[in-house]
């Protein structure tokens, strides 16, 4: 089945450590995104990528890094510079028009810093 | 700057009744897309419905319809014949001009009562 796969579902990290969240899609979508969601709040854009080897910062990129070496993959690294990394992270991808660049999401990854 | 506002933090509805979730938006661009997503307690974001700014008719998808009032900049979601499984968070979103960034409102939590 086509879809967006995020791993791991749950991740615990010690303070000062970097951690990488995986995101893979087999929908042949060009654009991919990473959002962060804090409890009871909406989604905030971290990074997005329109094509391979290109990505742009979103609204809260500080303390995060990404790469887009393959069309199918868009991993997110949460670095030790991110001051409050405990959150729910959602990866997404989008098709082109005429569906208006609807974003489709993976199931998310819960990151907890202990 | 573009903005999405959802003023209802929580809503209750009786099973089998209809419910309207409010969403207003702000943009100065004539071309944009509006979306609604459902987020159950498991966390995944499920795409429900899309409305383009130039669409003449209100979008409908099964029990979901979007009440699009362009002059008032509102895009309310109407759920008909509510079911217990409709209990979830609902997010209104807008695709920014250029098509690759989507911004989200803070969400409305819907509770369906038996």
Q: Which of B104, B105, B107, B109 to mutate to test the interface with A (most CBs of A within 10 A)?
A: B104
Which of A47-56, A94-103, B97-106 is predicted least confidently?
A94-103
Per-residue pLDDT band for B1 (boundaries 50, 70, 90) equals confident
Per-residue pLDDT band for B20 (boundaries 50, 70, 90) equals very high
State CA B84 to chain mean position distance. 18
Of A50, A101, A105, Cβ closest to residue B33? A101
Q: Which two tokens stand for residue A107?
A: 């199931």
Of A103, A107, A108, Cβ closest to residue B102? A103
Share the mean pLDDT of chain A: 91
Share of chain A above pLDDT 90, in %: 73
State CA B101 to chain mean position distance. 17
Bond prior to A61 in cis (omega within 30° of 0): no
pLDDT, tens digit (0-9, with 9 covering 90-100), for A9-33: 999 999 889 999 999 999 999 889 9
Q: A–B: how many Cβ contacts below 8 A?
A: 63
Cβ atoms within 10 Å of A15's Cβ, excluding its own? 8
Q: Is A99 on the interface with B (CB under 8 A)?
A: yes
Please tell me the predicted confidence (pLDDT) of residue B100. 73
| Yes or no, beta carbons of B104 and A42 under 8 Å apart | yes
Of A41, A104, A108, Cβ closest to residue B106? A41
Please tell me the predicted confidence (pLDDT) of residue A96. 60
| Yes or no, beta carbons of A103 and B100 under 8 Å apart | no
Q: Which two tokens stand for residue B69?
A: 């009032």
pLDDT, tens digit (0-9, with 9 covering 90-100), for B50-77: 999 999 899 999 999 999 999 999 999 9
pLDDT at A98 over 60: no
């Amino acid at each position: 089945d086509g879809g967006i796969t995020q791993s791991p579902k749950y991740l615990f990290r010690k303070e000062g450590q970097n951690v990488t969240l995986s995101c893979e899609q087999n929908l042949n979508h060009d654009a991919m995104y990473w959002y962060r969601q804090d409890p009871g709040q909406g989604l905030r854009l971290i990074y997005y990528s329109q094509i391979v080897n290109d990505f742009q910062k979103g609204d809260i990129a500080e303390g995060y890094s990404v790469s887009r070496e393959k069309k199918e993959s868009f991993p997110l690294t949460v670095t030790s510079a991110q001051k409050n990394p405990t959150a729910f992270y959602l990866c997404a991808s989008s098709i082109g028009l005429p569906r208006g660049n609807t974003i489709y999401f993976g199931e998310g990854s819960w990151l907890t810093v202990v | 700057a573009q903005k999405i506002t959802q003023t209802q933090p929580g809503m209750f509805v009786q099973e089998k009744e209809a419910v309207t979730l409010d969403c207003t938006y702000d943009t100065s661009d004539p071309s944009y897309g509006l979306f609604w997503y459902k987020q159950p307690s498991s966390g995944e974001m499920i795409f429900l419905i899309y409305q383009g700014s130039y669409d003449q008719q209100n979008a409908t998808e099964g029990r979901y319809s979007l009440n699009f009032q362009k002059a008032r900049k509102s895009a309310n979601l109407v759920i008909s014949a509510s079911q217990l499984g409709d209990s979830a968070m609902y997010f209104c979103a807008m695709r920014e001009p250029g098509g690759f960034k989507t911004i989200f409102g803070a969400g409305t939590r819907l509770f369906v009562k038996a």
